[in-house]
Amino acid sequence: MIDISSYKLSNKQLKRYEKLDDEYKQMYTDPKNCIPKFIMPVKGTFNPTWEEMLSDKEIMLKHHLYSNLAHLEVEDDCVLSARVDFGTCVVANAFGCEVFYPVNNLPCAKDHVVKTKEQIYSLKVPDIESAPYRKVREWTEYFVKNLPDGCHMMMADIQGPFNNAHLVRGTDIFFDMYDDIDAFYKLMDVVTDATIEYAKAQREWIKTEAGWQYDWSALWKGNARISNCSLHMIGRDLYIDHVMKYDMKLIEKMNGARMHYCGTAKNVIEEMAKIPHITGIDYDSLLHDIEETMENVPDDLTILQSLSLSSDMAKKILSSKTWPYKKRNVIFLLRGPMTVEEGKDLYRRFRKIAEN
């Protein structure tokens, strides 16, 4: 049984995290005057295997709580949070896909359940009480019950319409986009509706403030995150013509959401940034020019990317006396790992510049 008193925050710490939440919210309410954020890659001291965490919700929760302790010491911009981690396959599993468990890693979809285009037309939205969803709910309720004050629930991974459709249909989905666009649209309709239903259910389970979400070490405006990893295999035009409308539907139905994109297609991020009610985008900074992206997205859109200390951007920031960029609502995940003391020193340096 977890001893929650071991993770209890002092009144001073609770006030600091309340202030940090306000600073994150300012990224949307006053983006031109907010403070850029820096999250240090300091690992916790309790690092069980995925096999251990996936078999015991107490171990999984304890892992998240221990990870938070390191950030309590560093006092960086990492919000304290925890989530139920069952990988990318929960929605696909609810549709009937089998689950594969790699060694010491998150589970993933083993197969695709829709083998032919004809099967698409009999596909139904999974019951929210189906076994995969029910397990997420049971573990989520356990987490919510045992979280200490100041620590918040993240949503379990919902993926996104195209990612989930890719898992359900397999690589044949790319042929469908050319050979039978009506079947593709039918598949996307059903999977999008399923993803929205699962996301809305989770919002009820995690009991987080409406309109905001704790995710990836930060606080974001919106009520969900779309992961668009499978877009790596299609270009900008296919996304705009055939996929983007389903992202738009999810974002509208969720009253705002942010986007994760790990592809390389040029100008896709800029197209995503035009979606109504999108609140933020994270992407791989090794695959896209950060300064160019900052120039090409709206002022009120928060972006997140990793930052290497050896990069030109890090050197430019650390050699400046004031924030060297026009855009300020930016979150950086430093590449690591580093010790607590290294994290403290580096964060102080970044923070001093970010405040000016």
DSSP line for 62-98? HHHHHHHHHHHHHT-SPPPEE----TT-HHHHHHT--
Minimal CA–CA distance to 34: which of 22, 18, 46, 44?
22
Residue ranges per domain, the chain?
42-354
Which pLDDT score is estimated for 286? Answer: 76
Separation of alpha carbons 33 and 9, rounded Å = 29
Please give the structure tokens belonging to residue 161.
């319409």
Cα 273–Cα 90–Cα 284 angle in degrees, nearest 5: 35
Q: Which CATH number fits domain 42-354: 3.20.20.210, 3.40.50.10860, 3.40.190.10, 3.40.50.720?
A: 3.20.20.210
Identify the pLDDT of residue 333: 95
> How far apart (Å, rounded) are the C-alpha atoms in residues 134 and 149?
26
Please tell me the predicted confidence (pLDDT) of residue 96: 97
Cβ(90)–Cβ(132) under 8 Å?
yes
DSSP class of residue 153 equals: E
CA angle (31 as vertex; 28, 35 as ends), nearest 5: 105
What residue type is 146 in one-letter code? N
In percent, the amount of the chain with pLDDT more than 70 equals 100
Name the pLDDT band for 262 (thresholds 50, 70, 90). Answer: confident
Q: CA-to-CA distance for 74 and 68, rounded, in angstroms?
A: 10
Dist CA 138 CA 141 (whole Å): 5
Quick one: residue 65, left, alpha or beta (phi over 0 = left, psi -120 to 50 = alpha)? alpha
> Measured between alpha carbons, how far is 346 from 309 in angstroms, rounded to an integer?
10
Which among 255, 233, 257 has a CA at the least distance from the CA of 243? Answer: 233
Residue pair 159/87 in contact (Cβ under 8 Å)? The answer is no
Cβ-based neighbours of 143, under 8 Å, separated by 6 or more: 57, 61, 82, 83, 84, 153
pLDDT tens per residue, range 273-314? 999 999 999 988 778 888 888 899 999 999 999 999 999 999
Q: How sure is the predictor about 265, in pLDDT bands with cuts at 50, 70 and 90?
A: confident
70-74: average pLDDT? 94
In whole angstroms, give the CA distance from residue 299 to residue 33. 11
Residue 210 has pLDDT above 80, yes or no: yes
Sign of CA dihedral 82, 5, 208, 276: negative
Element holding 196 (H helix, E strand): helix 181-206
pLDDT in tens, 89-132: 999 999 999 999 999 999 999 999 999 999 999 999 999 999 99
Number of Cβ within a 10 Å radius of residue 121: 11
Query: At 267, is the pLDDT very low, low, confident or very high (cuts 50, 70, 90)?
Result: confident
